[in-house]
Homo-oligomer: A and B are copies of this chain.
Amino acid sequence: MQRVVVVGGTHGNELGGIYLCRKWTPAPRYWQNYPFAVETYLANPKAIDLNQRYVDQDLNRSFRSADLANPDLSSYEAQRARLIASDLAGADFIVDLHNTTSNMGLSLIFSGTDSFGDPLIRQLCAHLVQSEPLVHVYHMPVPAEINPYLPSLGQRELTLEVGPMAHGTLRADLFFKTEKLVQTLLDYLADWARGEAHTYQGELTIYSHVQSLDFPRDANGDLAGMVHPHLYGRDYKAIRNGHPLFVTFEGRELLYQGSEEVYPVFIDEQAYYEKHYALSLTRKVQIPI
């Protein structure tokens, strides 16, 4: 492991990662003790200046191999993605810092189909989970050839989703918890690279993506309802058959119907309204560390 990159501002209005990357520039002195180089990288400067998620299109859906290889794609983010792919080529580990309006705490998100076939990822997750109670591991696998996410450029990748925090704002408690978690992560990678890492036994809990659900909509496709108050803010809390999911503007309740216990995540994330996702459902899985 030679090159670790910590990315902020992939979405220009997610201020936690942006201000942490700025705080880490120039790099903190103690980073010099690591057996690898650590860089910070602000991914979408124009969106950051505008305090918007993106300029033309979502940068964090712009990294499919075919898109990177297509010079005809001319949106700001398509061009930017090609530059980033060049800048970050050869990175051994990319950590991409995000914020969410959902109550996701400090979520470690992995998009590789075989992320947990990697002993380092399993051990790192075990280490981070025990370091901070707000940490959860969310696995949302996408085949490599169509993976659209920025950190998939790295040999290894991690998206850190921190919330609840309204886009365009900062929350001090989450800012400092994020800083501390990234520090814990880098320290563990350094120990691993030196062959000195503490190794964990037992099982790791992973929330594995099942499906995303849209809001109720009317015949025109407009919103017809909202997340139910009994679900709002309850990311990673189990729901069973009959649990309320939505309430329409008229007050009618829509319930979860399914025989399986599931764990909702990204409940009411602001940026997913336009993607027609009200929340995602996950399955809780135990894997050997």
Chain A residues at the B interface, C-beta cutoff of 8 Å: 19, 23, 51, 101, 166-173, 175-176, 223, 225-229, 232, 247, 249-251, 268, 270-271, 273-274
- Give Cα A270 to B169, complex, Å: 6
Name the residue of chain B whose CB is nearest to the CB of A250.
Answer: B23
- Kindly list the 4 A-B residue pairs having the minimum CB-CB distance in the complex, ordered from nearest: A172-B226, A101-B166, A170-B226, A166-B166
A270 lies within 8 A of B167 (CB): yes
B19 lies within 8 A of A169 (CB): no
B172 lies within 8 A of A232 (CB): yes
Evaluate whether A51 and B274 lie within 8 angstroms (CB atoms) in the complex, with A226-B170, A232-B172 already known.
yes
B170 lies within 8 A of A223 (CB): yes
Question: B172, B223, B227: which contacts A227 (Cβ < 8 A)?
Answer: B172
Query: Which chain B residues lie closer than 8 Å to A223 at the CB level?
Result: 19, 170
Question: B168, B173, B270: which contacts A232 (Cβ < 8 A)?
Answer: B173
B232 lies within 8 A of A171 (CB): yes
